[in-house]
A and B are shown apart, each in its own frame.
Chain A
Amino acid sequence: GAGVSQTPSNKVTEKGKYVELRCDPISGHTALYWYRQSLGQGPEFLIYFQGTGAADDSGLPNDRFFAVRPEGSVSTLKIQRTERGDSAVYLCASSFGVGEKLFFGSGTQLSVL
């Protein structure tokens, strides 16, 4: 596609439920990043992939958060037992590789009630 695509654009869930957020990067981009942005804050790093492997997952807040990228393209961020504090915009970005410009998707607004 022309840009980074994230689905759904909005997700409302109840506390304790499981959610999956999807990111479809720009074709040919090998690096893929996940960030979380709360209102009025800068994006907070979660994890990034080079190809299929997670190169750095040090930003994942706890073991309820997990992300995969099985074929080196689409990635899914999975959150188990959601908490109200997980509510934020989850942003995905991709790039051609190291040192290249990151292109961001429009984000998924997650609301945990």
Chain B
Amino acid sequence: ELKVEQNPLFLSMQEGKNYTIYCNYSTTSDRLYWYRQDPGKSLESLFVLLSNGAVKQEGRLMASLDTKARLSTLHITAAVHDLSATYFCAVVTYNTDKLIFGTGTRLQVFP
């Protein structure tokens, strides 16, 4: 059964700093998604990564996928307060469309 783990679970960082969130998954997959969730809100899609070596960037966020290592990273560059939220990775089980979510990383950016 596919397991998806993220670390860290909680991240408190100062504005202007860089950091990386890691997403590990346990079985073969060819699709990985990153979502953002603000408190009390639903999930907002950030990135869809479809192949080994895929890299996508939007503003201060950059996501990458290494299917051989079963690892995705979400890199935050020069963090700002508006990035404070919970970030989830989600992986599709190979040969199905069942999307399994990770544990989430709660990011807090302070001045």
The 10 closest A-B pairs by CB, nearest first: A42-B101, A104-B43, A104-B42, A43-B101, A106-B42, A101-B45, A42-B104, A56-B98, A42-B103, A42-B88
CA A111 – CA B73 in complex, angstroms?
Answer: 35
Assess A41 versus B99: contact at CB under 8 Å? Given A91-B43, A99-B50, A105-B42. Answer: no
- State the B residues within 8 Å of A (CB): 4, 31, 33, 35, 41-45, 48, 50, 88, 90, 92, 96-104
Q: Which of A57-109 contact B (CB under 8 A)?
A: 58-59, 91, 93, 98-99, 101-107
Whether the Cβ atoms of A102 and B31 lie closer than 8 Å is: no
Within the complex, the shortest CB–CB distance from B27 to chain A, in Å, comes to 15
Additional A-B contacts beyond A43-B101, A59-B98 (18; CB < 8 A): A41-B103, A43-B88, A44-B101, A45-B98, A45-B100, A45-B101, A50-B97, A98-B97, A99-B48, A99-B50, A99-B92, A101-B33, A101-B45, A104-B35, A104-B42, A104-B44, A106-B41, A107-B42
Whether the Cβ atoms of A48 and B42 lie closer than 8 Å is: no
Within the complex, the shortest CB–CB distance from B65 to chain A, in Å, comes to 14
CA A109 – CA B88 in complex, angstroms?
Answer: 20
Whether the Cβ atoms of A102 and B45 lie closer than 8 Å is: yes
Interface of B (DSSP majority class): strand
A113 within 8 A of partner (CB): no
Q: List 15 A-B contacts (CB under 8 A).
A: A42-B102, A42-B103, A48-B97, A55-B96, A56-B96, A56-B98, A93-B43, A98-B97, A99-B92, A101-B33, A102-B45, A103-B45, A104-B42, A105-B42, A107-B42
- State the A residues within 8 Å of B (CB): 31, 33, 35, 40-45, 48, 50, 55-56, 58-59, 91, 93, 98-99, 101-107
CA A31 – CA B100 in complex, angstroms?
Answer: 15
Whether the Cβ atoms of A45 and B99 lie closer than 8 Å is: yes
CA A101 – CA B42 in complex, angstroms?
Answer: 15
CA A56 – CA B88 in complex, angstroms?
Answer: 22
**Chain B CB within 10 A, most for which of A31, A91, A104:** A104
Chain A residues near B97: list those with CB within 8 A.
31, 48, 50, 55-56, 98
